[in-house]
Amino acid sequence: MSKTITPYHDQQATKKEQVADMFNNISKTYDFLNHFLSLGIDIIWRKKAINELKKDKPKLILDVATGTGDFAFEALKTLRPEKIVGVDISRGMLDIAEQKIQKRNLADKFEVKLGDSEKLPFEAGEFDAVTVAYGVRNFENLESGLADIRRVLKPGGKAVVLEFSKPKVFPIKQLYNFYFNYITPGIGKLFSKDARAYSYLPESVAAFPDGKNFVALMDKVGFKNTKHRPLAFGICSIYTGIK
């Protein structure tokens, strides 16, 4: 990325600080808007990403940028690991995740921590798998974030990244761009107290080095057997790599 895209153009705060503020602001409406804006398809994409770990049977999973925990809850149900640890930079999002954990009586299986995705508060080689769903494009330094994900993985451990990408096929590309640039911010403004958050979304996706460029970054920090799997004509992509 040649230019750093931040949620709030008029602030002097770092991208990291702005992203934390943004998610604190939208935490209460995040789950509703996520499912609403994606027409529920985000749930299917999450399941596809989690299925990438079925054969690996990871016992201890780290979910980076865990947010309100939806990806981790789905992973618990599908993969049945001994434990999942979620880390996120937004206290507001983690408060929602903790409410869900208590409601579902899963405190022994799922724990969340406030932390920086690029300086993960864990020892090297601690986890069997690391997942990130819709979080890497918010990293301030993508390369150092990926390197740290690799650091906390056990040798042979797998990273699974689910992220928006840019479709290139007509008319999907045109429809996607219209929806993302006009419909999404409009609905976001209607339901969220932070309208800027939903304008940042298409901007951050447009600036994100998706596809082969992201795979190249994974290769650069040392991941092996890296793969890229586009979903829904390239609207979303799953990336995997082995330490």
- Residues annotated within a binding site for S-adenosyl-L-methionine: 68, 88, 116-117
Please, is 27 exposed, middle or buried when counting C-beta atoms within 10 Å of its C-beta (0-12, 13-18, 19+)? Answer: buried
Yes or no: say if 6 and 21 are a contact pair by the CB < 8 Å rule. no
Are 159 and 153 in contact by the 8 Å Cβ rule? The answer is yes
Q: Output Rg (C-alpha) for the chain, integer angstroms.
A: 17
Return d(Cα 31, Cα 70) in angstroms, integer: 8
Cα–Cα distance for residue pair 166/173, rounded to 1 Å: 7
> What are the b/e assignments for 171-193, b being 16+ CB within 10 Å?
eeeeebeeebeeebbeebeeebe
β-pair partners for 184: none
- Name beta bridge partners: 63: 86, 131
Positions at the binding site? 68, 88, 116-117
Residue type for 236, please? C
The one-letter amino acid at 62: L
3-state secondary structure of 191: helix
